Amino acid sequence: MIQTLNALLAPALMERLTLVVNHVLSSEPQAMARLLPHRGRLLRLELQGWPTLLPPPPVLAFRVTPAGLVEWCPGDDLTPELRVKVNAANPAALALDVVAGRQPPVDIEGDAQLATDVDWLLKNLRWDVAADLERLFGPAVAHELHRLGSMLAHALRSAIEGASSVAGRMRGGR
């Protein structure tokens, strides 16, 4: 049942994620310019240490489009020119770091120039959530939504860190 649900939801989730990534890329012309020379090339994000209790994540492979954006490539048999490996042993903390604009530690393997450009994207590209909220709702509402979202993200981060600390002490006390 869970695998069937995962098979149904994963493509829709990946398509939305690709839209968000392309929205962020297109907001920064230099990001698209860095990807243009790599059009047609494939990069793959590999989540290492993914918890076995969770459904497996979909294939995170993306091809650079002729416009300097990305398209999701769901095939598992594709050979990427670049692999980006990230520790995903704690997916919630990883997601919060990404949403907060903190880059998780990554290992990048493959084509040197593509690796350099992807590394630049990881270090310099940020989603300006506040600006998008302002375009949708106006400055006053956007400010409050962004403030509330930041407070929620901080609270969730604190809760995850607290739970990780307690779990670490419990493992150490055995």
- 149 and 67 in one domain? no
d(CA 9, CA 12): 5
Residue 51 placed within a domain: yes
- 75 and 140 in one domain? no
User: What's the pLDDT score for residue 39?
Assistant: 95
Spatial neighbors of 165 by CB under 8 A, at least 6 apart, are none
- 112 and 162 in one domain? no
Host H or E run for residue 89: none
Residue 43 placed within a domain: yes
User: What's the pLDDT score for residue 61?
Assistant: 94
- 139 and 70 in one domain? no
- 119 and 61 in one domain? yes
Q: How many independent structural domains does the chain possess?
A: 2
User: What's the pLDDT score for residue 33?
Assistant: 95
User: What's the pLDDT score for residue 149?
Assistant: 67
- 63 and 142 in one domain? no
- 115 and 30 in one domain? yes
d(CA 149, CA 172): 34
Residue 54 placed within a domain: yes
- Stretches where the chain sits below pLDDT 70 are 1-6, 76, 99-101, 126-136, 141-147, 149-174
Residue 67 placed within a domain: yes
- 138 and 111 in one domain? no
Which residue range(s) make up the domain with 140? Answer: 130-172
Closest CA to 155 of 63, 92, 74, 78: 92
Residue 52's CATH number: 3.30.1050
Residue 98 placed within a domain: no
CA 152 → CA 42, 96, 99, 137, 142, distances in Å?
A: 35, 10, 12, 19, 15
